Amino acid sequence: MEVVLTQAEWTARRAEHLARVRRWTGPHHERKAKGEKHPVLDFLFSYYSHRPSRLERWHPGPGVVLAGDAAREYLRRPAYTETAEGVALDVAKFAESRGDTVAFIGRLLTATAARAPRLGCFGLHEWAMVYRQQPEQVRHNAWPLRLGSAGTDTVVESSRVQCGHFDAFRFFTPEARPHNALQPTRETQVEFEQPGCLHATMDLFKWAYKLDPATPSELVADCFELAAEVRELDMRASPYDLAALGYQPVAIETPEGRAEYVRRQADFADRAAPLRARLAELCGTLLRSSARVG
């Protein structure tokens, strides 16, 4: 059943979305104009390929008709069509053109949701990314390592590293890879991902924008906001000293720090679950539309 939004209703939702995401896109634009780098927040716009301008753009998602003359601007964008009541996403056309992507995302999200969260990795992936590197090789080398190079290496060597997220593992240094209890690959991604993983939670933003413009922008923003919070913990638990930026460390080399990390990790897993379910449901809707076309 379609929902018809008046021009006043959908333009208000669009304005609310823009105001919401400019909390992050505005400062990012300012830093970029000044040539400034941010070791925590830049990740949201560099590792993730959704440009700030795309994040600011509002889409209603499937089953929503935009009424009023202003809605015709959406006809200039792919996957929109004119209906008797206004302009709407052509769900069948979108699903037909992006079927493989939708199917993969749906499989990954469903498989991840079916597993119990595994906690206790303690964010050691960030430590493994700088293990036995020379200072000039360290990714965020403008910022010191809290324990120095030798101390950082000791933490990796004395810990059980158990990262199952391929897109984190692929950035491990060659020397760190044998320390990992798991050896994930792109081919085993669906088998390995689990809901306690911070990167799997951050990646909900990626899966949301990979389905753009079919994902309602409010859902994209929900996933982005959670990713921003998770990224903060990710870097607070990292080996870097970012106190000058206001990020007090979660010292995972201590029992207290590890306990805090696990507590926050469990909270993020709980908050990610409904977002993952909404994205999986969207994939199901799109796949059913594709099947009808086929």
Please name the amino acid found at residue 271.
Answer: R
**Is residue 93's pLDDT more than 60?**
yes
Judged by average pLDDT, the poorest of 31-45, 46-60, 126-140, 180-194 is 126-140
Long-range contacts of 133-141 (CB under 8 A, 24+ apart): 133/173, 140/39, 140/240
3-state SS, residue 145: strand
Beta-strand pair 64-66/3-5: parallel
The dihedral through the CA atoms of 213, 214, 218, 222 has a sign that is negative
Q: Coil, strand, or helix at residue 57?
A: coil
Average pLDDT over residues 97-105: 93
Domain spans in the chain, listed from the N-terminal domain onward: 3-293
User: Rounded CA gap, 212 and 206, in Å?
Assistant: 10
Q: How many residues belong to the chain?
A: 294
Identify the bridge partners of residue 66 per DSSP, sorted by sequence position.
Answer: 5, 87
The Cα 128–Cα 123 span in angstroms is 9
Is 17 buried (19+), middle (13-18) or exposed (0-12) by CB count in 10 A? buried
> Under a CB-based contact definition with an 8 Å cutoff, are residues 229 and 205 in contact?
no
Q: How is 235-250 classified by DSSP, letter by letter? A: HHTSSB--GGGT----
When pLDDT is cut at 50, 70 and 90, the band that residue 127 belongs to is very high
7 pLDDT tier (thresholds 50, 70, 90)? very high
The residue whose two tokens read 């990012």 is 28
Which tens digits make up the pLDDT trace of 168-204? 999 999 999 999 999 999 999 999 999 999 999 999 9
